């Protein structure tokens, strides 16, 4: 490719990327940072938040709080990398039931009768709930999570909660039923 052609292609690509960013920024205003190591540290908008992440198995919207599109950008990047590694080891899909939660959504869950912590690691971007429809899946998910170093687990009838909140007790398992 000629040098002049490369410059034109590069210029067109930059203009297109700028237009996409402007459009998405209008749709998704900047989100407040939750975790100290969240994806938003390197990018300040929804479009860019996963750009520097090399996740094999997850899409950014899987971690959004149901009441705030784009809030999944507040997930801790190290947590997500470990989760992605665990998914690879388990060899089964990880359906995320709950990722990041806004404080408002956490309160709403409590009002609807769910057991939630007032200082939930979900609100810091340090937790997810993974669907486990049967015992074999539950076993594969749990062993993979432990293999990559997670140490905090909560068990519901159809899900596993995992987090890496260092402000809470470590090496523990609890249940929600």
pLDDT digits (tens, 9 = 90+) for 12-49: 455 555 544 444 344 334 333 344 556 554 344 544 66
Residue 54 pLDDT:
77
Rounded distance, CA 126 to CA 103, Å?
Answer: 14
Residue 148: domain span: 31-175
Residue 17 in domain:
no
What's the confidence (pLDDT) of residue 34? 40
**Would the CA dihedral through 143, 95, 68, 154 be positive or negative?**
negative
Looking at residue 3, what is its pLDDT?
59
What span, in angstroms and rounded, lies between the C-alpha atoms of 137 and 153? 15
Q: Please report the pLDDT score of residue 60 as a whole number.
A: 86
**Residue 105's CATH number:** 3.30.980.20
Q: In the chain, how many H helices and how many E strands?
A: 4, 5
Binned at pLDDT 50, 70 and 90, residue 111 comes out as very high
Number of domains the chain contains: 1
15 assigned to some structural domain: no
38 or 143, which is more confident: 143
Q: Classify residue 1: in a domain, yes or no.
A: no
Which residues, including other chains, have CB under 8 Å from residue 139's CB and lie 6 or more apart? none
Residue 154 scores a pLDDT above 80 = yes
């Amino acid at each position: 490719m000629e040098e002049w052609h490369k410059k034109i292609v590069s210029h067109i690509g930059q203009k297109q990327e700028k237009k996409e960013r402007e459009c998405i920024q209008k749709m998704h205003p900047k989100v407040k940072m939750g975790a100290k190591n969240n994806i938003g540290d390197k990018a300040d908008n929804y479009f860019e938040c996963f750009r520097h992440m090399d996740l094999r198995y997850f899409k950014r919207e899987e971690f959004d709080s149901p009441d705030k599109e784009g809030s999944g950008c507040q997930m801790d990047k190290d947590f997500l990398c470990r989760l992605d590694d665990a998914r690879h080891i388990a060899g089964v899909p990880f359906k995320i039931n709950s990722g990041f939660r806004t404080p408002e959504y956490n309160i709403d869950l409590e009002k609807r009768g769910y057991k939630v912590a007032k200082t939930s690691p979900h609100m810091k971007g340090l937790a997810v709930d993974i669907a486990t429809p049967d015992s074999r899946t539950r076993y594969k998910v749990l062993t993979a999570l432990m293999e990559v170093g997670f140490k905090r687990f909560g068990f519901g009838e159809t899900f596993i909660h995992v987090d890496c909140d260092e402000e809470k007790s470590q090496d523990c398992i609890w249940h929600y039923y």
